[in-house]
Amino acid sequence: MDDKIKSVKIDHAIICSQLTKTYGSQLAVDHIDLKIKYGSIFGLLGPNGAGKTTIIKMLTGLTTPSCGNAIVAGYDVAKDSSKVKEIIGWVSSEVILDDSLTSMENIWIQSKLHNLGKKWKEKAFTLMKYFELDGGDEKKKVGQFSTGTRKKLEITMALLHEPKILFMDEPTIGLDANTRRLLWNLIKKINKQFGVTILLTTHYIEEADVLCDNLAIISHGKIIARGSSQELKAMVGGDLLEIDFFKFFDLSVIKNIDGVIEIRQEEDDKKEEEEEDDKKEKPLKLFIKVKDAETILPALINTITNIQPNIIKSIRIEKPNLESVFLELTGMRINEVDENIDKQFYTKARG
């Protein structure tokens, strides 16, 4: 090993201290502290624009932090970025394949970047077999491949030099549900069988839940919660009942039922200026947070139908999930934040 470059022996594959990135006056990543264990799958979950890609870019040496530091596989990314690049693999959310070339030609370019010499072909064939990619059809250009096959090829290329840590930025974005599930299995398999530490970003709730041993939820460049999926769900502290009523009724009757934690009305029904009489005839949607939905539901239905028969239209039970964690912490659903960003962008683009 080059003795000018010092690797620190540590238990964690990635350590960030107060990692920050500003673009002009905008704080894209805001003083992040993170520790990721070797061999784990760690997820950064957050809406578009939260700062996930910027974190990955700093950890892979593609952009320099404005302040704070990061140690990846024992190396400081700011001081030893070339060493870090040897040890990590990166699957971008953007297209990196050359559509006019074949799989092997794309892989060959990647092998040159990592100076793999003559052994590249053997490694390529082994990985392609592992991912059930057709290495024999040498004439087919990757532009003709399906999105799922292209993604598998990108992962093959990222693993060619046997990295210890694999960064995957939105690995299943734009894929259909079936292909997404196939990719999830593949990501788990790579982690278990190759022992690769994986840091992935996603805005898909289910993806974070299914894949990640540990998670950090990111909003506006900050980590707003962290832990395993189970730990995060426990933060919600109850089930959510979403109940549609044909018309308004006096809510005080349900407030005192044992196990009811909180009652929220859908925004539209709360308009203060609305006349009391108008309100009474309107349908009503309630979000009721309860300790345990199955236990409380019979008492709740009884109490309501005793005073107002046939008033309940539908009931939906939502067990704590990562979406409700985000909702609890930010007051919005992840998709709503995406929409807001899209709207802002659209307004900006139109001037």
| Site for ligand ADP, rule CB under 6 A | 23, 28, 46, 48-54
d(C-alpha 285, C-alpha 265), whole Å: 6
Q: Which is nearer to ligand ADP, 191 or 201 (CB)?
A: 201
Strand ordering across the sheet containing 239-245? 260-265, 284-290, 239-245, 312-318
Q: Which helix (H) or strand (E) is 245 found in, with range?
A: strand 239-245
Q: Which is nearer to Mg ion, 52 or 289 (CB)?
A: 52
Query: Considering only 51-59, 182-190, 238-246, 261-269, which stretch makes contact with Mg ion by CB under 5 A?
Result: 51-59
- Which one of Mg ion, ligand ADP, none is in contact with 51 (Cβ closer than 5 to 8 A by kind)? ligand ADP
In this structure, what token pair is assigned to residue 307?
């005073």
Query: Considering only 29-37, 48-56, 259-267, 292-300, which stretch makes contact with Mg ion by CB under 5 A?
Result: 48-56
Q: Are strands 41-45 and 197-202 parallel, antiparallel or unpaired?
A: parallel
| Binder of Mg ion out of 53, 106, 191, 197 (CB under 5 A) | 53
d(C-alpha 81, C-alpha 75), whole Å: 8
Three-state SS at 202:
strand
Q: In this structure, which amino acid lies at residue 308? A: Q
- Which one of Mg ion, ligand ADP, none is in contact with 345 (Cβ closer than 5 to 8 A by kind)? none
| Residue 177 CB coordination number (10 Å) | 8
Min separation Cβ 201 and ligand ADP, Å: 6
- Residue number with the shortest CB distance to Mg ion? 53
Min separation Cβ 56 and ligand ADP, Å: 8
Three-state SS at 231:
helix
d(C-alpha 155, C-alpha 152), whole Å: 5
- Which one of Mg ion, ligand ADP, none is in contact with 28 (Cβ closer than 5 to 8 A by kind)? ligand ADP
- Which one of ligand ADP, Mg ion, none is in contact with 61 (Cβ closer than 5 to 8 A by kind)? none
43 with 200: CB under 8 angstroms? yes
User: Does 202 interact with Mg ion (rule: CB under 5 A)?
Assistant: no
Rg (CA), the chain: 25
Q: Which is nearer to ligand ADP, 64 or 305 (CB)?
A: 64
Q: Which is nearer to Mg ion, 53 or 191 (CB)?
A: 53
Q: Which is nearer to ligand ADP, 101 or 175 (CB)?
A: 175
Q: Which is nearer to ligand ADP, 28 or 200 (CB)?
A: 28
| Total residues binding Mg ion (CB under 5 A) | 2
Bridge partner residues of 19 (DSSP): 32
